[in-house]
Amino acid sequence: MTRDRTQAVTQEAARPLTLAVVSAGLSTPSSTRLLADRLAEATRQRLADGGQGPVEVRVVELRDLATDIAHNLVTGFPGAELRAAVETVTGADALIAVTPVFAASYSGLFKSFFDILEPEALAGKPVLAAATGGTARHSLVLDHALRPLFGYLRALTVPTAVFAAPEDWGGTGDAFTGSLPGRVDRAAGELAALLAGRPATGGPSAAGPVAAGGAPGETGETGGTVRAADAGPSDPYDEASVVPFAQQLAALRP
Amino acid sequence: MQFGIFTVGDVTPDPTTGREPTEHERIKAMVTIALKAEEVGLDVFATGEHHNPPFVPSSPTTMLGWIAARTERLILSTSTTLITTNDPVKIAEDYAMLQHLADGRVDLMMGRGNTGPVYPWFGQDIRQGIPLAIENYALLHRLWREDVVDWEGRFRTPLQGFTSTPRPLDGVPPFVWHGSIRSPEIAEQAAYYGDGFFANNIFWPKEHFQKLIRLYRQRYAHYGHGTPEQAVVGLGGQVFMRRNSQDAVREFRPYFDNAPVYGHGPSLEEFTRETPLTVGSPQEVIEKTLTFRDSFGDYQRQLFLLDHAGLPLKTVLEQLDLLGEEVLPVLREEFAKNRPASVPEGPTHAARVAARDAAPAADGTAAAATPQEVTS
Q: Per residue in B49-92, pLDDT tens?
A: 999 999 999 999 999 999 999 999 999 999 999 999 999 999 99
Question: Does B153 lie at the interface with A, CB-CB under 8 angstroms?
Answer: yes
Is position A130 within any domain? yes
Q: Is the pLDDT of residue A253 over 90?
A: no
CA A86 to chain centre: 9
Q: A56 in a domain, yes or no? A: yes
- B360 lies within 8 A of chain A by CB: no
Beta strands in B50-174 (DSSP E): 75-78, 81-82, 107-111, 149-151, 159-162
- Residue with more model confidence, A200 or B199: B199
What is the Cα gyration radius of chain B? 20
Contacts of residue B204 in chain A, CB cutoff 8 Å? 76-77
Strands B159-162 and B149-151: antiparallel
Query: DSSP letters of B37-58?
Result: HHHTT--EEEE---SSTTB--S
Residue in chain B lying closest to A230 (CA): B208
* Cβ B293 vs Cβ B335: under 8 Å: yes
Q: How confident is the prediction for chain A on average, in pLDDT?
A: 83
Q: What is the DSSP secondary structure assignment for residue A12, as one 8-state letter? A: G
- How many residues does the structure list for chain A? 254
Q: How far apart are CA B240 and CA B288, in angstroms?
A: 12
Give the range of the structural domain holding residue A168, as residue numbers without chain letter.
17-199
* Candidates B185, B205, B264; nearest CB to A77: B205
User: To 10 degrees, what angle do helices B184-193 and B129-143 make?
Assistant: 10
Domains of chain B: 2-348 (3.20.20.30)
Q: Cβ neighbours of residue B205 under 8 Å, at least 6 residues apart?
A: A77, B274, B275
Other Cβ atoms less than 10 A from the Cβ of A30: the count is 19
Name the β-bridge partners of B6.
B46
Distance from CA of B63 to the nearest CA of A (A): 30
Residues of A within 8 A of B208 (CB-CB) are: 77, 230
Res. B364 pLDDT band, cuts 50 70 90: very low
Say what the alpha-carbon torsion angle A179, A183, A185, A190 is, to the nearest 10 degrees: 160
In a domain? residue A207: no
Average of per-residue pLDDT across B341-353? 97
pLDDT digits (tens, 9 = 90+) for A24-61: 999 989 999 999 999 999 999 999 999 887 999 999 99
CB distance A130 to A36 below 8 Å: yes
Instruction: Find the angle CA(B70)-CA(B71)-CA(B77) to the nearest 5 degrees.
Output: 110
Sign of CA dihedral B318, B320, B324, B326: positive
Distance from CA of A252 to the nearest CA of B (A): 7
Nearest CA in chain A to B206: A77
Tens of pLDDT, residue by residue over B222-259, are 999 999 999 999 999 999 999 999 999 999 999 999 99
Q: Tally the domains of chain A.
A: 1
Q: Domain for residue A71, yes or no?
A: yes
DSSP state of B301: E
Burial class (CB in 10 A: 0-12, 13-18, 19+), A223: middle
Question: Which residues on B lie below 8 Å from A71 (Cβ)?
Answer: 265-266, 270
Tell me whether residue A163 is in a domain.
yes
How far apart (Å, rounded) are the C-alpha atoms in residues A175 and A193?
26
For residue B43, the model assigns a pLDDT of 98
The Cα B30–Cα B45 span in angstroms is 10
- In which band, very low, low, confident or very high, does the pLDDT at B371 lie, cut at 50, 70 and 90? very low
Residue of A237, A238, A245 lying closest to B192 (CB–CB): A245
B163/B47 Cα distance (integer angstroms):
28
CA dihedral B366, B369, B374, B376 (to 10 degrees): -120
* Residue A238 with chain B: CB contacts under 8 Å: 215
d(CA B239, CA B185): 30
**What's the pLDDT score for residue A4?**
46
pLDDT for B360 equals 67
Can you give the CATH number for the domain in which A136 is found? 3.40.50.360
Return all residues near A155 (Cβ < 8 A) that are at least 6 apart.
Answer: A95, A122, A123, A124, A125, A126, A127
Q: Is the pTM of this model over 0.80?
A: yes
Q: Is residue A225 situated within a structural domain?
A: no
Average pLDDT over residues B84-111: 98
- Considering only CA atoms, which of B44, B74, B81, B37 is closest in space to residue B59? B81
**Residue A181 falls within a domain, yes or no?**
yes
A34 occurs within a structural domain: yes
